[in-house]
Amino acid sequence: MTERFSSGAEGIRWDLTDLYQGIDDPQIKTDLDALFQKARGFEKEYRGKVSSSHLNDETLAEILKNLEALLDPLEKIAAHAYLIFAGDSTNEKHGKHLQHVNEKRTEIRNHLLFFELEWMELPDAEAERLLKKPSIAPYAHYLEKERKFRPHRLTEGEEKVLALKNNTGGGAFSRLFDETLNRMEFEFAFKGKNALLSEQEILALLHDPDREKRKAAAEGMTDGLRKQTHLLTYIFNTIAADHATDDRLRAFSGPMVSRHLANEIEPEAVSTMMETAEKAVSMVHRYYRLKRQVMKLEVLYDYDRYAPLIISGSLRKIHSMPPVPPREAPAKPVASLFQSSRGVKWSDAKDIVLSSFYAFSPVMGKTAEMFFDKKWIDAEIRPGKQGGAFSHGLVPTHHPYILMNYSGTLRDVMTLAHELGHGVHQYLSRSRGFFQMDTPLTMAETASVFAEMLIFHELKEKEADPLEKLYLISSKCEEAFSTLFRQIVLTRFEERLHHERRGGGELPASEINRIWLEVNRPMFGDSLHLTDDYGWWWMYISHFIHSPFYCYAYAFGELLVLSLYGAYLKDKGSFVSKYLTLLESGGSKSPQALLSDFHFDLSQQSFWEGGLEILNGLVIEAESLAREHFP
């Protein structure tokens, strides 16, 4: 077995002591007990006053401030428990603590539930009068959104029962999925030697330059998933059935309707976005035919999809980036070389990302730098840790935390930029308060994808070697295809899965495999062959379990950011301040209102086509470079 690359992220763990000293910290119980008593007092004080015709704006503002004062520390406790669990879900104490906190959280929230229901019962005229008051402005958009859910709310008693049952229903199966995936070991057999790898480690090998190594990793991944077929198939069916039950009880007309409402987007706009992108899928086919030509392969298989573009004689280096003004830049300038056979050290990835952030805006750079200096990032790969990456925004009185699994690839550098984009967004939006700091998912990917574009554009523009540039462009195209076209494929898969589960009952794994391959194959056409083994790979995707129909938000964000980046390149002077205002606004307005300064119309096909044109331009650039150097 070849020696593993040491990424330098070993030992890079977050410091959660800003929240609590650990799961045994006695302050957690003290805080939960105090919040329970405060919640009971809140209910006793304000029940019946919200739906009263005598409600005035001063009383409503007082109620909302007190409610914020309860929810902020409560969600801090819940976030701490989840972060501990994500860091190591194999420790039974972590799972037990998470379950305990979730149960206590539900008990406390059930004493606060009356507020939302009473606010919905208020006559429209009274609500509109209150929403116009200056004292309600910090809460206005949150209150408007709540009333849109009015047709789908149940009685208070029913809502309480559903909240309690979730801890042993959908929420329990979600936790079981995480624990199962995080405990799984995948056998990697290569050149007569075997190793047991985590999900994150074996997926990382799909980006290795060695084709036989990629093939062995894919075989190991498939075999590991197949061994858990019964359990994972049952979890997927249960989550789909639970979602159907919720839709039926709440009178949602289809599986995606509740997500659209939460995302503050019209179904027609989502359909337009997805259909417009699907019509442009030929650019994916063109790119993979190009990749097959450059790599001199007769057939590309699914395990070749993320292979680095092998260019003879190329060092694939990330060149030094220009210094930025003193006191605004990281102390160490970027001067690292990236070689695909070795990887990018953590310290170099940090400098690459921070340099680009500072070059865009000192505010963005300084905010991101705090994540490193104050240990708000957990980057090392270790057994039991959750795979993938996320940035958890927590609450206004605290700061976000980032989890990722850094192995040293160029893709990992982009993931670091992606999650720091989220982190900066979440940090800056805290000023909007508990109810309006978080954006809907349709806007949540904006800052993260934009951050990736900053890194890519800086590297591309500074690169003089055409082969190096081709390598960078190919990496960006593949990342964009994954964020855009693949996420639409995942959404189409969910549509089929949920509709067939509702119409025909529980689905066997073989049927889900068939659906998975049928929706994936059109993305590649004849440019890449998906093997039957790939049919099992729906099993590890956590968004299907945790947040049904989350995935189209990635596609939405990718096309939105491509349009934003086009606007940035045309007018950098005025763009930065408008962009930072967008981030600071959090979820205080609807997506369309948040984007009003940029004059975007999300309902128009032409808007989505604008983003696709920019991406197609990268494919054309890659084709031109390849024609010149690989005739």
290 and 627 Cβ atoms separated by less than 8 Å: no
* Cβ–Cβ < 8 Å for 466, 628: yes
Nearest to 534 by CA among 234, 225, 286: 225
Inter-residue contact 55 to 113 (CB < 8 Å): no
Q: What is the mean pLDDT of residues 280-293?
A: 96
The encoded tokens of residue 552 equal 């189209």
Can you give the pLDDT at residue 531?
96
User: How do residues 414-471 score in pLDDT, each as one tens digit?
Assistant: 999 999 999 999 999 999 999 999 999 889 989 999 999 999 988 888 888 888 889 8
Residue 509 confidence class, pLDDT cut points 50, 70, 90: very high
Structural domains in the chain, CATH included, are 16-168 (1.20.140.70), 315-479+570-629 (1.10.1370.30)
Instruction: Tell me the DSSP string of 295-328.
Output: TT-S--BGGGTT-----TT-----PPPPP--TTT
Statement: residue 274 has pLDDT above 90? yes
- Assess whether pLDDT exceeds 60 at residue 560: yes
In angstroms, the CA 308 to CA 342 distance is 13
Predicted local distance difference test score (pLDDT) of residue 34: 98
C-beta contacts of 211-217 below 8 A and 24+ residues apart: 211/303, 211/304, 211/307, 214/303, 214/304, 214/307, 215/301, 215/303, 216/188, 216/189, 216/190, 217/188, 217/303
Start-to-end Cα distance in the chain = 36
Residue 31 pLDDT class (50, 70, 90 cuts): very high
Q: What is the reported pLDDT for 599? A: 87
Per residue in 297-319, pLDDT (tens digit) is 999 999 999 998 865 443 344 33
Distance CA 282, CA 71 (A): 48
The share of the chain scoring above pLDDT 70, in percent, equals 94
Structure confidence by residue, pLDDT tens digits, 395-425: 999 999 999 999 888 889 999 999 999 999 9
Residue spans of alpha helices (H) in 228-266: 229-250, 257-262
Name residues whose C-beta falls within 8 Å of residue 215's C-beta, 6 or more positions apart in sequence. Answer: 301, 303
Mean pLDDT within 523-541: 97
pLDDT in tens, 594-623: 998 898 888 889 899 999 999 999 999 999
Top-confidence range, 65-69, 160-164, 609-613, 624-628: 65-69
Per the CB < 8 A criterion, the answer to whether 134 and 58 are in contact is no
Cβ proximity of 113 and 45 under 8 Å: no
Please answer whether residues 456 and 393 qualify as being in contact, where contact means their C-beta atoms are separated by less than 8 angstroms: no
Helices (H) and strands (E) in the chain — how many of each?
A: 27, 5
Please state the pTM of the whole predicted model.
0.84
Q: What is the pLDDT of residue 310?
A: 66
Question: Coil, strand or helix: which one is 366?
Answer: helix
Enumerate residues 6+ apart whose C-beta is below 8 A from 433.
Answer: 68, 138, 139, 396
At 313 the pLDDT is 41
- Contacts for 89-92: CB closer than 8 Å, 24+ residues apart: 89/178, 89/179, 89/182, 89/183, 89/384, 89/385, 89/386, 90/179, 90/182, 90/183, 90/383, 90/384, 91/384
Helix (H, G, I), strand (E, B) or coil at 560: helix
